[in-house]
Structure 1
Amino acid sequence: MIQVNLITGFLGSGKTTTLLHLLAQKPEGENWAILVNEFGEIGIDGALLAESGAVLKEIPGGCMCCVNGLPMQVGLNMLLRQHQLDRLLIEPTGLGHPKQILDMLSAEVYQPWLTLQASLALLDPRQLSDARVRSNENFRDQLAAADIIIANKQDRWQEEDRQALAQWQAEALAGRLLVSTEYGRIDPALLAQPRHNLRTLPQSEAHQHTHHGSGLSALRLDRNARWRRAFNQGQGYYACGWAFDSDTLFDTIGILEWARLAPVTRVKGVMRIAEGAVSINRQGADFHIETRQAPPPDSRIEIIHDSEADWNQLQSELLKLRLSDKT
């Protein structure tokens, strides 16, 4: 039986950082896999998790949580057929609704193979004061469906955030475990907790988006292409991302300033630079960077915003930051 955990959380709540922390503490000898889904088509989390020591399957384009669930079924079945696993961690997009995934994992056909354990929801309590986030159906239902709430980014909280968390805890926690932390640092023993939150969620009416391709692997560059752009939209959000070949290096200061100053909600990427590589993670004014000695096979960066942005202008500025041949 493969032990399965669903790890949800709205945009920028820290799911990928939490996964990296958990994978760093994976018991020796156990074989873990990650089934990761992103709203955009580029596949940033796959690049961030590629060296984590776990089997990785990507489902980009926000289609893990769709009503038909086909991309997730295919990805899950491929993992079950091709690997002998001890634990599977499933990370849906921050704009994903948990009902379809939980229903599928609980289906009779998977009962001989999977044991669904505690579902974890990452929460940045600062989001509780954001009316747009608080009214989002997916945000509400991710928290409602979870067995354990991880109140993340404690190092960034102000007093009003603590008060908002305390009020939410009094109104909605309903006896479940709440863990406060920063940088996704949680005890991996939480994964072994049983699933006990069996409340029934309504089917999501809002989860609609455009499908591109098979939805089973992140965007790849065409032969001889130096770079490519991909776009996705749905649920009132827009994603635009770029992938560049391995020969393209970026100006370090320039790419960091581009990501920091872009007039958008979210920027995430792994970029090849002269010094090696840098991972970029920005949510609003929060801006986190980390250098990586082992460069990724290519560069990937993606923007998510709650309205249409001037994608062509952002792209023009991005292309000017290349150090290599500007083709």
Structure 2
Amino acid sequence: MKILAPKPVPTHIISGFLGAGKTTLLQHLLAQKPEHEVWAILMNEFGQIGVDQQLIAQQQGYAVKELLGGCLCCSSQLPMQIALSRLLSESKPDRLFIEPTGLGHPAQLLEQLTEPHWQSSLNMRALVIVVDGSRLHDREWVQQNLYTDQLKAAQIVVLSHVDCMNDADWQAYSALKQEYQTYVQYWIEAENGQVGLPQLDIVQQPVQRKIQPLLKLQKIQSNDEKRAEIKQLPYHYVETTQGYTVGGWKLPKRWQFNFYNLLDLLCAQQDWVRIKGIFNTDQGWKSFNFNPQQFNYKSADESIDNRIEIITQSHQDWFAFETQLLACCRNIDQ
């Protein structure tokens, strides 16, 4: 008698910034479980005392496991792998939900769970980010690096607290959809977390991201030379998803750029969808936020590094751009 291997479990990551409403959404999703199925939930809290698990009903047909202390997105993978393996082997779920801490980087978690080791066990569904609509008017809140990193990882955004949104929130929501159209496929406006599971039961699209040395450094390396893993600045990366390509650079914060030369370079670019960056310049720290309708730049708080992303749907000569970008720098020390 032939024993069939278990099918990969449909697996949803439900993420979002602190207080966005992830657990409320999860509760509504769990209420949609068919009677004959077993669903499992892996929850992660940054602190050492679990609270969310107490909010999920401990009923027959559910298996809940908490991972406390730290973040399963970016801390050592071993505790997460052990907890997840045990949950899968002990409960043998028909569907799995993972709720990382609001301080996590879900893109890193998704990258871990799409590695070959997990492909026979997990069938990843579209990454869901829950956004608190009532806070969209707070520009400092939505411009935090962690917040924007989560949005860039999302394939689906669920807008929560829509009943508390004012006009400024709705205007900011419209701008947010425009800004992240190259990343997010689906936007769902949910009242009290009420979202139908079929709206989220979508296969996760693969994201191809390659982090490399600066193109200038790659040019002088021999083709046979094995490139070291990139662990520190400066580096260049290219990411492809949903028909768009993102070319990005992260450079040391001590590198200072000539502001007017940099502005001229960015304004001269062609055939792009979005340009965003922040730089240490001889005029102080400056942020750039360009779309085809508006070229915006302004003074900014000091950043942890110089960085820029260019989103395009057409071929770009990244080496030519990087060469011109580095020419704007006043004190490269490589």
Shorter-chain TM-score range: 0.5 to 0.7
1:41 aligned residue: 48
Q: CA deviation at 1:61?
A: 1.8
Q: 2:120 — aligned with what?
A: 112
- AA aligned to 2:198 is A
Compute the displacement of 1:186 (Å): 0.4
Shift of 1:197: 6.0
3-state SS in 2 of match to 1:129:
coil
Aligned: 1:143 with 2:143: no
CA distance in 1, matches of 2:41, 2:201: 16
For residues 197 and 120 of structure 1, what CA distance do their matches in structure 2 show? 14
Kept in 1, the 8 Å contact 2:71–2:103? The answer is: no
CA drift of 1:176 comes to: 1.1
- Residue matched to 2:9: 2
d(CA) in 2 for partners of 1:201, 1:166 = 31
Residue 126 of structure 1 corresponds to 134
User: How far, CA to CA, are the matches of 1:18 and 1:105 in structure 2?
Assistant: 22
- Contiguous gaps of at least 5 residues in structure 1: 206-327
**In the alignment, which of 78, 90, 95 is matched to residue 103 of structure 2?**
95
The whole-number CA distance in structure 2 between the counterparts of 1:200 and 1:10 is: 23
1:172-228 deviation digits (Å, cap 9, x = unpaired): 1336110101211001112321112626498999xxxxxxxxxxxxxxxxxxxxxxx
Whole-Å separation in 2 of the counterparts to 1:164 and 1:76 = 37
Q: For each residue in 1:137-181, what CA deviation from the matched residue of structure 2 results, as whole angstroms up to 9, or x when unmatched? A: 221121111111101111100010000000011111336110101
- Corresponding residue for 2:20? 13
Question: 1:63–1:69: 8 Å Cα contact kept in structure 2?
Answer: no
Aligned to 1:58: 66
Count of paired positions: 205
Residues 71, 100 of structure 2: 8 Å contact kept: no
Q: Distance in 1 between matches of 2:231 and 2:192?
A: 30
Which segment drifts farther, 1-10 or 52-61? 52-61
1:67 touches 1:100 (CA, 8 Å); kept in 2? no
Alpha-carbon distance between aligned partners in 1 of 2:41 and 2:187, rounded to the nearest angstrom: 24
* Distance in 1 of aligned mates of 2:64 and 2:57: 7
CA distance in 2, matches of 1:200, 1:156: 37
TM-score, normalised on structure 2? Answer: 0.57
Determine the structure 2 residue equivalent to 1:187.
Answer: 196
Q: Distance in 1 between matches of 2:158 and 2:128?
A: 7
Distance in 1 (alpha carbons) for counterparts of 2:166 and 2:210: 32
> Aligned residue for 1:177?
186
**Distance 1:22-1:77 versus aligned 2 partners, 3 A rule:** same
Task: Kindly provide the amino acid, as one letter, of the partner of residue 27 in structure 2.
Answer: L
Q: What is the rounded CA distance, in whole Å, between the counterparts of 1:20 and 1:139 in structure 2?
A: 23
The whole-number CA distance in structure 2 between the counterparts of 1:150 and 1:57 is 24
Distance in 2 of aligned mates of 1:160 and 1:21: 28
Give the Cα–Cα distance (whole angstroms) in 1 for the partners of residues 191 and 208 of structure 2: 28
- For 1:15 and 1:8, how far apart are their aligned partners in 2? 6
- Which residues of 2 match residues 211-226 of structure 1 at below 5 A? none
One-letter amino acid of the structure 2 residue matched with residue 188 of structure 1: L
Distance in 2 between residues matched to 1:146 and 1:9, nearest whole Å: 10
Moved more, 186-195 or 1-10: 186-195
Structure with more contact order per residue of length (Cα contacts < 8 Å, sep ≥ 6):
1
Pick from 60, 69, 73 the counterpart of residue 81 of structure 2. 73
Normalised TM-score (structure 1): 0.59
How many angstroms apart in 1 are the aligned matches of 2:49 and 2:39?
23
Aligned to 2:31: 24
Partner of 1:292: none
Question: 1:201 & 1:172 partners in 2: Cα distance?
Answer: 21
- Check 1:167–1:199 CA distance in 2 against 1; reply closer, same or farther (3 A cut): farther
Deviation at 1:68, TM superposition (A): 2.2
CA distance in 2, matches of 1:84, 1:16: 22
Give the direction of change, closer, same or farther, for the CA distance of 1:155–1:30 in structure 2 (3 Å limit). same
- Are 1:31 and 1:87, in contact at CA under 8 Å, matched by a contact in 2? yes
